[in-house]
């Protein structure tokens, strides 16, 4: 047999082996939660497997180094397990390339942590990037390369750090993903099954709770519980959207509570119709998306759909550079002093970057959710803005100016396209005190 035919046979076998290992590791993770006797065996198995991959990576690293004068091979590790990172980090990387921020004569290999949270998004990205089909072997290439001088050149630089569009790329560069004719037909058929006629306006919404982390990360999610919110507080606002002629679709790969409404125009897609494909299609096609500070909101962002974000926290992480965004945020209640913290007070202290529930507990701070009235008001504002009916008064302009004047430039903030809900600022002027 020739070398070419050997490689032709070997590579598919290696991919098949890698797939089996992915399935095994996922099974092992699920099984270990209830069976400790497997821990030692699985640890030894994993170490032997990774050692074999490391040995296979040696010739690969040599070849990559020899090729450097001709073409620079670089690596980028992404998160395949979390849909927010899978969506926005990959889109920002492609935007950076389009903007000329990356060097020419480079060949970038992207590999992702496993398992993938959404197969449709994986399929669409594979058409746009050099995605490694052997992520664990690629990781060993990356690790081995880091032991040699000059390894930095083989790592894709992070211009947009922490999944943040610091350079306003999303506003300037069009989306990279699109649907084929067959996928468009499939998407419309899926919407018809939900009772949504063709060309009907609809919005998607997602209310963050602990169910997804329990299902996928085997975690109670308490550390991130400060970002959760109560779905019943959204119902009056959703009813209001149906009176404005919208269908309303509840999103989520795993959700804790069913919707408490019988309105036929409010569809509990997460419980009844959910698929990986429709997750992406609906987020891409909605008139706007109602978010609650979860990873799923990044999917409509990469398709440049307008976003309304409610119950936002932590305070300084407001994604100011997304193309069209309205938001309102949770208020910080000091239990001992029985008062709300002013926005300046939050931003001038370490509280602004608290990202664990335990941190708020230790400081005796309670995060107060937005009221049903506040949610309904900001949704009505977005609808009016998109229809060209919104009139911004002098008081509203002044309140926006006062709010944003509190923010100092930091690595968390890029260009600012966001606005705070107008009625929320009118009703909470005391939060702007200095």
Confidence of residue 210 (pLDDT cuts 50, 70, 90): confident
- Same domain assignment for residues 82 and 195: no
φ, ψ of residue 331 to 5 degrees: the values are -95, 145
- Same domain assignment for residues 294 and 417: yes
Confidence of residue 93 (pLDDT cuts 50, 70, 90): very high
Residue 62 has pLDDT above 70, yes or no: yes
| Residue 346 placed within a domain | yes
Is the sign of the CA dihedral 215, 221, 224, 228 positive or negative?
A: positive
- Same domain assignment for residues 408 and 279: yes
| Residue 9 placed within a domain | no
Mean per-residue pLDDT for 266-294? Answer: 96
- Same domain assignment for residues 156 and 93: yes
pLDDT value for 379: 98
176-202: pLDDT as tens digits: 999 999 999 999 999 999 999 999 999
Residue 7 has pLDDT above 80, yes or no: no
- Same domain assignment for residues 386 and 415: yes
| Residue 8 placed within a domain | no
Whether the CB-CB separation of 78 and 113 falls below 8 Å is answered with yes
pLDDT value for 14: 45
CA atoms within 13 A on the CB side of 350: 5
The terminus-to-terminus CA distance of the chain in angstroms comes to 78
The total domain count for the chain is 2
- Same domain assignment for residues 301 and 413: yes
- Same domain assignment for residues 271 and 355: yes
Whether the CB-CB separation of 308 and 327 falls below 8 Å is answered with yes
- Order of all β-strands in the sheet with 288-291: 266-267, 247-250, 202-205, 288-291, 307-312, 325-329, 418-420
Least confident of 66-75, 204-213, 265-274, 299-308: 204-213
Burial category of 145 from C-beta neighbours within 10 Å (exposed 0-12, middle 13-18, buried 19 and up):
buried
Least confident of 32-41, 76-85, 257-266, 314-323: 32-41
Residue 298 has pLDDT above 60, yes or no: yes
Place of tokens 């560069």: 173
- Same domain assignment for residues 27 and 109: yes
pLDDT value for 312: 93
136-162: pLDDT as tens digits: 888 888 888 888 899 999 999 987 777
| Domain of 250, in residue numbers | 181-432
Place of tokens 């992207």: 110
Mean pLDDT over each residue of the chain, to the nearest integer: 87
- Same domain assignment for residues 227 and 261: yes
C-alpha 347/C-alpha 163 separation (Å) is 21
User: Can you say whether residue 312 is alpha, beta or left, with left for phi > 0 and alpha for psi between -120 and 50 degrees?
Assistant: beta
| Residue 387 placed within a domain | yes
- Same domain assignment for residues 62 and 201: no
């Amino acid at each position: 047999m020739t070398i070419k035919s050997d490689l032709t046979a070997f590579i598919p076998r290696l991919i098949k082996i890698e797939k089996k290992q992915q399935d095994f590791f996922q099974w092992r993770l699920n099984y270990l939660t209830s069976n400790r006797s497997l821990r030692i065996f699985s640890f030894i198995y994993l170490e032997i497997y990774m050692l074999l991959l490391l040995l296979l990576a040696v010739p690969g690293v040599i070849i990559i180094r020899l090729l450097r004068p001709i073409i620079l091979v670089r690596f980028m590790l992404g998160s395949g397990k979390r849909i927010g990172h899978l969506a926005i980090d990959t889109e920002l990387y492609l935007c950076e390339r389009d903007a000329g921020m990356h060097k020419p004569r480079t060949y970038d290999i992207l590999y992702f942590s496993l398992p993938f949270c959404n197969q449709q998004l994986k399929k669409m990205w594979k058409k746009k990037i050099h995605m490694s089909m052997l992520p664990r072997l690629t990781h060993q290439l990356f690790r081995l390369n880091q032991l040699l001088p000059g390894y930095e050149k083989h790592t894709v630089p992070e211009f947009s750090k922490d999944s943040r569009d610091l350079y306003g790329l999303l506003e300037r560069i069009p989306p990279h993903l699109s649907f084929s004719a067959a996928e468009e037909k499939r998407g419309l058929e899926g919407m018809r099954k939900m009772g949504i006629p063709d060309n009907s306006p609809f919005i998607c919404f997602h209310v963050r709770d602990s169910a997804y982390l329990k299902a996928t990360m085997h975690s109670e999610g308490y550390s991130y519980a400060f970002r959760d919110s109560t779905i019943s507080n959204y119902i009056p606002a959703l009813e209001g959207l149906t009176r404005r002629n919208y269908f309303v679709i509840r999103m989520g790969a795993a959700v804790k509570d069913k919707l408490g409404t019988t309105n036929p125009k409010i569809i509990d897609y997460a419980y009844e119709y959910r698929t990986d494909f429709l997750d992406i299609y609906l987020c891409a096609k909605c008139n706007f998306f109602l978010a609650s500070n979860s990873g799923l909101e990044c999917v409509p962002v990469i398709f440049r759909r307008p976003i309304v974000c409610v119950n936002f926290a932590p305070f300084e992480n407001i994604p100011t550079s997304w193309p069209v965004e309205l938001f309102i945020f949770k208020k910080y209640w000091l239990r001992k002093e029985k008062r709300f913290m002013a926005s300046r007070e939050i931003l001038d202290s370490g509280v602004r970057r608290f990202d664990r529930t335990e941190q708020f507990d230790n400081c005796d701070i309670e995060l107060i959710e937005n009221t049903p009235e506040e949610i309904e008001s900001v949704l009505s504002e977005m609808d009016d803005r998109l229809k060209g009916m919104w009139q911004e008064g002098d008081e509203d302009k002044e309140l926006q100016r006062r709010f944003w004047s509190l923010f100092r430039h930091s690595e968390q903030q890029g260009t600012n396209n966001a606005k705070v809900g107008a009625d929320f600022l009118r009703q909470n002027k005391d939060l702007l005190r200095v």
